[in-house]
Every structure is written in structure tokens, then in C-alpha cells.
Amino acid sequence: SFDANKIKQLSAKHPKSPVTYTYGTAGFRTKADVLDSVLFRVGLLAVLRSQSHNGRTIGVMVTASHNAAEDNGVKLVEPLGEMLKQSWEAYATSLANAETEDALLKALENIVQKEGINMSAPANVVIARDTRPSGENLVAALKDGVAALGGNLTDFGIQTTPQLHYVTRCINTKGTPEAYGEPTNEGYYAKLAEAFKRLVGGKQKLAQFHVDAANGVGAIAIRGLLNAIGGDLTATIVNDNINDAAKLNHDAGADFVKVQQREPVGLKLIPGENYASLDGDADRIVFYYADEAGKFRLLDGDKIATLAAGFIMDQVKAGQVTINGAPVKVGLVQTAYANGSSTAYVKEVLKVPVEFTETGVKHLHHKAEEFDVGVYFEANGHGTVLFSKAAIQAFHTTHGQKEEQQRALRILRALSDVINQAVGDALSDLLLVVAVLVNQGRTFAEWDSAYTDLPSRLEKVKVKRRADFVPTDADRRLVKPEGFQQKIEAVVAKFNKGRAFVRPSGTEDVVRVYAEADSRENADLLAKTLCDLVA
Ligand code: 16G
Ligand code: ZN
């Protein structure tokens, strides 16, 4: 089995802090200064995960996304770019919390035994990190962990989260019929740029674009992408200072814009121009603009989802694409946070079926795989579109009779290349949105006019034990505390178009309260009333 002495020796360099860790929705995420031992142990786990896949490459991303600069985190990526298989999350937690080196060895043995891992199988791990200063030392700990179990490691350097997912998928599919692309940065930029150019080439461009890079790694990536695209997309980039850690996500980025419902620092909105904000690791994006009155208007994940679903539906119809004689099934996956207006619009106007899952990308991703074309976005701007193998094949083999049909098929083929299939990707989503609007000849304001968001309010409440709040029905109701759901519903019933839910956070020690209603005042009042009920 493994070399216990070597593990102990290296583990001694990375002593555990007196902290209880949990591998949650965002992997491990907390203050960077208590993560050293966690990174070492994640290195161990990555080797085992690769061995359990017979040496296929596992990705490890070191990032704390939209959180403050002094935080950091780490998550594992499965061979095709998906989030770590859920049953392995508990293994990650068990390794991270082992108090002694002997306990750590025992936890390792337990995984090897339960999973029947062949310890002589090869192990390959590819890693990357965001721009956080703490990343460098954390990566060193991660490397020690991989070395302790004798795995091969490739350090991909400073990259966005989606770039790491992309490269993981490319490495594992290279030379197969599912080959995803060149496992390099250049390959990533070239793939997106080429598909984007097929979608927009020769068409009228959108008005001036501005991208807020949250002073994070997205600043590097968006430059690389724009370079590869050339004249077909130009944008000014703001908040691109990656050398001053204090600026990371500070009053900028997708999370700030979505939560504060306002433009980031460094941008003064000009009516008629277009804006987007990335988050700190560039896997989330939101769009916005100023209307004629100069008022800030947000185009969040729900708006992106409806734009994509509507456009793809149109192309599938025009392309007359079928799979085994049946029309291609396009579906949308949302969470409880999706604005009620967006759900109604998708069901009633677009006539696209909508499914709900719990919060967190992995849940949406799995649900989306059930459709031929599954669109999923969280309201916060995390998301992508998944095309099944059969759908992609149908786009390539359907023989278009008329030019209109051929055009739709060309668009569908290009869309399946421009949209990152491995994971939600702010840059890929940016190209998707621009390509759709260019093809529709629409502006941000016209896109926005499809439906009007109901006013909503998101609050958080500190409670003694958030575990007392047990959600069900895709986070939309509570089964515990006993009788609490009825109380919520009694309050909600008093509000016109009222909808609300309470759920424990998966990433912070709080309970979240979401409310929407027919007016700003009512949404605020509903949220406030429920916060008082929770506290
Ligand atoms: C994580 C999730 C995000 C989700 C958020 C909810 C991923 C990559 N990220 O950041 O999608 O919206 O958690 O956090 O899945 P919460 O449980 O604290 O509300
Ligand atoms: Zn992120």
C-alpha cells in the first residue's frame, strides 16, 4: 500500500489547525491561514481519486472565488470537468479533520479500502490557482500531498477556475472521439474565439462593451481571449489590478454587482453602452446597463438563462433537429433564487420546461444532463448550457434543406463549441450572450424587456445552529424546525405575488432568507418579517 513514513514526514510540515473543516458546495473555503494542512491532504485525496479512475487526470483548483483576499479555498475536479463526486466529499472532510498523523493514515486506508483502490495504479493531477497571494504557499502544500503518494503533478499556474476545468477535460479526452480541445491556454482561447467568430462574423457589432474583472485572474484571461478574437469583439477592461490583493473583489465583481444592485467602483454607466462583471475566479458573470433615465439595470443569471434557452429553442426549431425521430428536448434548470418572473416567462412564453434543484452548481449540472440541451444558471450568474452527445451528433448529421435550416444548424454547432461544457465559465458565457444578441440584432435594453423582475431581497441571519434548518423540495421549503414552514407560509400569504424561502447556507455559518413580492417595499418587508421570525 502506501509509504506511511513518507506521508508522516511530509505531513509534519503541514500541521493541522484546531479547526473543523467541511468540504461543502464550494469545496473547502475559509481563511487562508488555516488551510495549509487541508491543501496537503487534498493532494493526497487527488492522487487516490485519480487512481480510482485508473490514472485519469484529476484537477485541483485553489481559489476563494468572490470572497475577500484573505480567504482561500480548494476544490477537486473530476476528469470531464465536473465537480467532485458527492460520495467523495465526505472522504475529503475526513482527511481534513484527522487530528494526528496516525488518524490521517487511518482515514487514507479507509478510503482505499472502501473504494477498492489499486495503489499501484498511476495518478495524475493538474492544478491551478487564482491571484490570491496565499495561493503560492498553499500550492506548495498541495504539491507535498501529491508527492507523498507518488502522484504526477502538472502545475498550470495562475488560471481561472473554468480554464482549469477545461484543461482537465482536454487532457482526459485527448485522442478520443470526444476530444475537447488542446490542453493549453492558447487552445482554450483559440477554441472559444474560433467558435465565436463563426457566430458573429460579418454581423453588426454590439455597442461599446466594458468588462469589470474584479481585480482578479479574469483580468488576465479576458485579455487573452480578446487577443485571440481580434476585431470581432472589443471591450475596455476595468478593475484589472491583480497586484494589489486588497482590491480583489472589493466593491467590484459579479457578486458585488448582483448583491448591491449597482455598478462596481471604476465604472460610470453611460446609457447605450454595455457592461459585464466577472467574479474573482471568472466562473460567474452578470451584465448590466443604464436605461435612458440613467437607472442601473441588472441582467443576472436568470436573464442569461432565458436569453440562451429562447435562442436555442428558436434554432432547434428552425434547424428541425430531431433525435431518434423526436424533437430535441431543450430544458432549463433553476434554483429557488430564480426570480418568479423568469420562471413564468420560460414556462409560459418560451414554453421550455423548467426543473428546480438545490443551490450549487453540481446539482444544476446533473439535472441539466437529463435534457438533450440543458440550460442551467443560478441567479448569481453561475451557469452554462450542456449539449448531450446525441444532440451534438444531430447538429452535425442533420441535412439542412433550406438555407434557413442550414443556418440554424451552423449556429447550433458553433454554440456547442463556444459554450464551455466542462463548467460554467464567465468568458464563455460572455461570448454566448454577445453572439445571441448580435444574431438577434437586439440591445441589452431589448433583451431586458422580455420580462420584468419581481422586486426581491436576500438577507442573512446568524442563528445558534443553522443545522436546525432542514430544507426540502429544492430548498424551497423547510421540514425543520417543526411547524416553521407553516409560519413562513402564513406570512407570505399576506403579500401580493409573495414568495419566500429560508435555507441554511452551505458556505457560511448563517441562514439565508429570500423574499420577493409585487413592490420593493413589500419584498423588503416580507424579508424583514421572516428574518425576525428566524432570529
Ligand atoms: C457556492 C456555489 C454557488 C452557490 C453558493 C451558495 C459552486 C461552484 N458554487 O459558492 O453556486 O450559489 O455556493 O452559497 O457550486 P450558500 O450555500 O452559502 O448560499
Ligand atoms: Zn467564482
| For the CA of 161, the nearest atom of ligand 1 | 8
Can 301-422+444-448 and 456-534 be said to share one CATH topology?
no
Q: Is the CB of 314 under 6 A from ligand 1?
A: no
CATH level 2 (architecture), domain 4-158: 3-Layer(aba) Sandwich (3.40)
Kindly state the helix (H) or strand (E) to which residue 72 belongs, with its residue range.
Answer: strand 71-77
Instruction: Return residues with CB closer than 5 A to ligand 2 (ion).
Output: 65, 279, 281, 283-284
Q: Which of 364, 507, 510 to mutate to test the pocket of ligand 1 (most atoms within 8 A of CB)?
A: 507
Q: State in Å: Cα 17 to ligand 2 middle.
A: 26
Q: How far apart are CA 335 and CA 366, in angstroms?
A: 13
Q: What is the DSSP string of 432-479?
A: HHHHHHHHHT--HHHHHTT--PPPEEEEEE--S-GGG-EEETTTTEEE
Q: State in Å: Cα 60 to ligand 2 middle.
A: 14
Bridge partners (DSSP) of residue 297 are 289
Kindly state the helix (H) or strand (E) to which residue 352 belongs, with its residue range.
Answer: none
Q: Is the CB of 334 under 6 A from ligand 1?
A: no
Are the C-beta atoms of 83 and 161 separated by less than 8 Å?
no
Q: State in Å: Cα 483 to ligand 2 middle.
A: 36
* Nearest residue (CA) to ligand 1, atom 5: 360
* Nearest residue (CA) to ligand 1, atom 11: 360
Q: How far apart are CA 317 and CA 315, in angstroms?
A: 5
Q: State in Å: Cα 253 to ligand 2 middle.
A: 10
| For the CA of 29, the nearest atom of ligand 1 | 10
Ligand nearest to the CA of 258: 1
Q: Is the CB of 459 under 6 A from ligand 1?
A: no
Q: Is the CB of 378 under 6 A from ligand 1?
A: yes
Q: Which of 50, 52, 65, 416 is catalytic?
A: 65
65 is catalytic: yes
Q: Is the CB of 77 under 6 A from ligand 1?
A: no
* Nearest residue (CA) to ligand 1, atom 10: 26
Q: Does domain 187-298 have CATH number 3.40.50.2300?
A: no
Residues near 434 by beta carbon (within 8 Å), at least 6 away in sequence: 196, 200, 206, 209, 233
Q: Is the CB of 506 under 6 A from ligand 1?
A: yes
CATH level 2 (architecture), domain 456-534: 2-Layer Sandwich (3.30)
User: pLDDT in tens for each of the 535 residues of the chain?
Assistant: 789 999 999 999 999 999 999 999 889 999 999 999 999 999 999 999 999 999 999 999 999 999 999 999 999 999 999 999 999 999 999 999 999 999 999 999 999 999 999 999 999 999 999 999 999 999 999 999 999 999 999 999 999 999 999 999 999 999 999 999 999 999 999 999 999 999 999 999 999 999 999 999 999 999 999 999 999 999 999 999 999 999 999 999 999 999 999 999 999 999 999 999 999 999 999 999 999 999 999 999 999 999 999 999 999 999 999 999 999 999 999 999 999 999 999 999 999 999 999 999 999 999 999 999 999 999 999 999 999 999 999 999 999 899 999 999 999 999 999 999 999 999 999 999 999 999 999 999 999 999 999 999 999 999 999 999 999 999 999 999 999 999 999 999 999 999 999 999 988 889 999 999 999 999 999 999 999 999 9
* Nearest residue (CA) to ligand 1, atom 2: 360
Locate the domains of the chain by residue range.
Answer: 4-158, 187-298, 301-422+444-448, 456-534
The pTM for the full model equals: 0.96
Task: Please state which CATH class domain 301-422+444-448 belongs to.
Answer: alpha beta
Q: How far apart are CA 130 and CA 280, in angstroms?
A: 8
Bridge partners (DSSP) of residue 355 are 333
Q: State in Å: Cα 476 to ligand 1 middle.
A: 16
